Amino acid sequence: MTAGFLQVKNIVYHYPVGRKKIKALDGISLALKREGTLGIVGESGSGKSTLGKTIAGLLAPQRGAIVFKGLEISGKMNTSVQYVFQNSSKALNPRMRVRDLIAEGLIIQKKWPRKRDLIIRDVMDAVGLPERVASYLPGQLSGGQIQRVALARVLAVEPEVLILDEPVSSLDVTTGAMLLLMLAELRKKKKLSYIIISHDLAVLRQTCTDIAVIYAGKIVEAGRADYIFTKPRHMYTKMLLAAHPQPDPAFKIRVEIRREAADPLHLPSGCRFHPRCPEALPLCRRQPPGMVNVAKEHCVSCHLAG
């Protein structure tokens, strides 16, 4: 991928489990363009949330670096790069009122004490929350309002990058569609850049300029969204697309979904995808494939891609 203003360079994050390790991220490189929207897609357990938290500095990578506007920010919380949790309703303190939840980041950072009420009103307005909910507790809000509060919280500290982890997966279709529309408007208005994590390709198709496909802690394919959706090269990407209803009936990818995703404690040798791949070669069992550029903004990790 082209160099962006936020770069993820070969990061590794392994969770220790007893004497073993879960290799949640195993050498991930990505780039987010300024004011771009990068979608990260993969099955459950592929490492998406770990990646989001690592980019936001909530987890420190054991190897590799996160570079934002030329500065290394690995393992450091940074006001400019904010993460919105996958499960916002659980991430919000149920005993805090909306106004205090939104102000929390400003208080922790001792920012603008005199302007706080104004900022709270401004971000609530930006995410479409009526003023009356400022005194509500999370338990008194709808799912859509909870997501908006989670967004308002991070917007209050004026970030440049938002990492949105499954922003609409807990919402019904119309509430989700409205939230995505609001996010698109917000991005333009506040000149934000987004990383959107989702298992739902329809969400990413609608919102993203670039896509990265993750499988068992590795990026298997990445590039411009139109390439990924219309000319996918990796079997796993094809499998994800085939599992999803296509809006264009002329677009036919027939790939059967085979077997369960890789067990993170017993990852296959060579290409981690080989037990599920209908095109696997004997080489695939022995040797992990490298990343190959198949177009200017399209790269694939597969022995067949070269």
Binding site for ligand ATP (CB under 6 A): 15, 17, 22, 24, 42, 44-50, 86, 199, 264
Sheet order of strands, 71-72 included: 20-32, 6-17, 63-68, 71-72
What residues line the site for Mg ion (CB under 5 A)? 48-49, 86
In the complex, minimum distance from the CB of residue 291 to ligand ATP, in angstroms, rounded to a whole number: 20
Nearer to Mg ion, 53 or 274 (CB): 53
Judged by CB under 6 A, how many residues of this single chain contact ligand SF4? 14
Residues in CB range of 119: below 8 A, 6 or more apart: 106, 112, 156
What is the per-residue burial (b if ≥16 Cβ within 10 Å, else e) of 134-151?
A: bebbbeebebbbbbbbbb
Spatial contact of 152 and 123, defined as CB atoms under 8 Å apart: yes
Nearer to ligand SF4, 14 or 234 (CB): 234
Is residue 281 a contact point for ligand SF4 (CB under 6 A)?
yes
In the complex, minimum distance from the CB of residue 45 to ligand ATP, in angstroms, rounded to a whole number: 4
CA-CA distance, 41 to 107, in Å (whole number)? 34
Partner that binds at residue 107, options Mg ion, ligand ATP, ligand SF4, none, CB closer than 5 to 8 Å by kind: none
Phi, psi of 18 (to 5 degrees): 60, -125
Nearer to ligand ATP, 6 or 262 (CB): 262
Nearer to ligand SF4, 67 or 291 (CB): 291
CA-CA distance, 67 to 208, in Å (whole number)? 21
In the complex, minimum distance from the CB of residue 200 to ligand SF4, in angstroms, rounded to a whole number: 23
Nearer to ligand SF4, 14 or 218 (CB): 218
Nearer to ligand ATP, 103 or 241 (CB): 241
Nearer to ligand ATP, 68 or 215 (CB): 215
* Residues shown for the chain: 306
Spatial contact of 31 and 57, defined as CB atoms under 8 Å apart: no
Spatial contact of 211 and 204, defined as CB atoms under 8 Å apart: yes
Is residue 292 a contact point for ligand SF4 (CB under 6 A)?
no
In the complex, minimum distance from the CB of residue 264 to ligand ATP, in angstroms, rounded to a whole number: 4
Partner that binds at residue 227, options Mg ion, ligand ATP, ligand SF4, none, CB closer than 5 to 8 Å by kind: none
**In 3-state terms, what secondary structure has residue 276?**
helix
Residues in CB range of 93: below 8 A, 6 or more apart: 101, 138
Site string for ligand SF4, 243-272 (x = CB under 6 A): ----------------------------x-
CA-CA distance, 69 to 213, in Å (whole number)? 24
Query: Which stretches of the chain bind ligand SF4, using CB under 6 A?
Result: 234-235, 271, 273-274, 277, 279-281, 284, 289, 302-304
